[in-house]
Amino acid sequence: MSFGLESADNRILKSMRKGTTVEQMERTLKLVYDSGISLDGAFIFGDIEETFETANNTLKWWREHSEYKITLNLITVYPGSFLYKYAYEKGIIEDKVKFLKEGCPQINVSKLTDKEYAIVLREIMESPMTLTKTLSKIETKIIDYKTGRIAITGICSVCKEKSNWENVKLFASSYLSCKSCGQRYNVVLPEEILNTIDNNITNLLKRHGKLGIWGINYHTTNLFKRSKVLKDAAVFLIEISEIKRKMDLYGKQINAPDIITKENIEVIIVPIPAYYNEITGRIKTNYKNMKKVIDICELINPDYFDTHIKK
C-alpha cells in the first residue's frame, strides 16, 4: 500500500488541504505495518507555509519511523496548480514560457530562507542513505553492465531472514522488500562498483579534461560523498533546480546548465538513469558541441573505457 503523506506537521497538512492529521497518519501506518502488508509513502517539503521548524518536525518524525520506508522529496510547482498561480502572482515565476522551457525547475515558494532551504535539502539528500534500516551480510553480482542491473543477497535487520533479489536497477528509486516481512531497503552502491566508476571517470577526465554531472538526487549525493574522483575541480555539477543549486555538496558548487558553454564541457554523465532521455534531449537542443552523454550505469563496466572510448 502506498500513502501520499506529504508532511508530519499538522500546520502543513492543513495548508495543503489534505484533510488528514499526523495522529491519523500514525495510526494508519502502524495498523498496515503490523498487519504484515508492505507499504511505502512520501513526504514533500516546501509548501507555502513550510518553515524551518515544520520541515524539521517532519524530518524528526521520519528518523523515528524508518521502518515505514518513507521517501523524502521537494515540492514541484506544476503549471495549473495552486502553487503555480501563487508563484506567478508573487513574482517568483517571472516568465511562464521560460519556466516551461527549463522543465519546471523546483523553486522556493515556502517561508524558508534560502539558507534554511539549503540546510533542509542537504538533510533530505543525505538521509535516505544514512538513517534508514540496512541489510546485513550483503553480497552482490553483476547481471548486466549495459543497463546497470545487479543481483543482491542480504539478511533483513527486522526479521533476520535471508532474501535474494534479481535484476535490481542501480541508481533508481526502487526498493528491496524483504521476502519474509516486507521491510524495505535502499539499493546501496557496492564498494567494488564505486571503485570501477571512479576508475572510468578518471580515464574520461584524462581524455577530455572536464566533465559535467547533470542531475542531483540522494543517489548522486551518496556517490559524491564516497567517490575519490568526483570532488576534482574539473568535475562540474549541473542541475536545473534553483533550490538544489543553493546547496553545497561536499564543497562542490552546483551550477545551472549554462556552465556547459562557459567551461566548454564536452562530456556529460547522467547519474539518474530515469532522466537520461530527458537530459539528452535538452543537451542535443541547446549544446550542439557536446561529444558524449553517458548513463552512469555504463560506467559500472570495468571494460567501459576500452570498449567505448579507445576504439
pLDDT of 310 over the 70 cut: no
Task: Tell me: pLDDT of 174 over 80.
Answer: no
Give me the mean pLDDT over the 131-150 stretch: 82
Three-class secondary structure assignment of the chain: CEEEEECCCHHHHHHCCCCCCHHHHHHHHHHHHHCCCCCEEEEEECCCCCCHHHHHHHHHHHHHCHHHCEEEEECCCCCCCHHHHHHHHCCCCCCHHHHHHCCCCCCCCCCCCHHHHHHHHHHHHHHHHHCCCCCEEEEEEEEECCCCEEEEEEECCCCCCEEEEEEEECCCCCEEECCCCCCEEECCCCHHHHHHHHHHHHHHHHHHCCEEEECCCHHHHHHHHHCCCCCCCCEEEECCCCCHHHCCECCECEECCCHHHHCCCCEEEECCHHHHHHHHHHHHHHCCCCCEEEEHHHHHCCCHHHHHHHC
Q: Is the pLDDT of residue 240 over 70?
A: yes
Please tell me the predicted confidence (pLDDT) of residue 176.
Answer: 85
Residue 35 has pLDDT above 80, yes or no: yes
The three grid cell numbers given for residue 107, joined into one nine-digit string: 523553486
- Residue 56 buriedness (CB in 10 A; 0-12 / 13-18 / 19+): middle
- The amino acid that residue 135 corresponds to is L
Asked if pLDDT for residue 123 goes beyond 90, the answer is no
When comparing pLDDT for 288 and 45, which is higher?
45
How sure is the predictor about 101, in pLDDT bands with cuts at 50, 70 and 90?
A: confident
Which residues in 255-267 are b (16+ Cβ under 10 Å) and which e? Answer: bebebbeeeebbb
At 311, the pLDDT band (50, 70, 90 cuts) reads: low
Average pLDDT over every residue of 221-239 = 93
Section 121-148 average pLDDT: 81
More confident residue, 305 or 81: 81
Domains in the chain, CATH or no CATH each: 2-130 (3.30.750.200), 136-186 (no CATH), 191-310 (3.40.50.720)
CA gap 27, 216 in Å, rounded: 34
Q: What is the pLDDT of residue 309?
A: 63
Residue 236 reports pLDDT greater than 80: yes
- Pair 73, 103: CB distance under 8 Å: no
Please say if the pLDDT value at position 56 is more than 80. Answer: yes
pLDDT above 90: residue 142: no
Q: Taking residues 89-103, report their average pLDDT.
A: 91
CB within 8 Å of 221: residues ≥ 6 apart: 125, 126, 129, 249
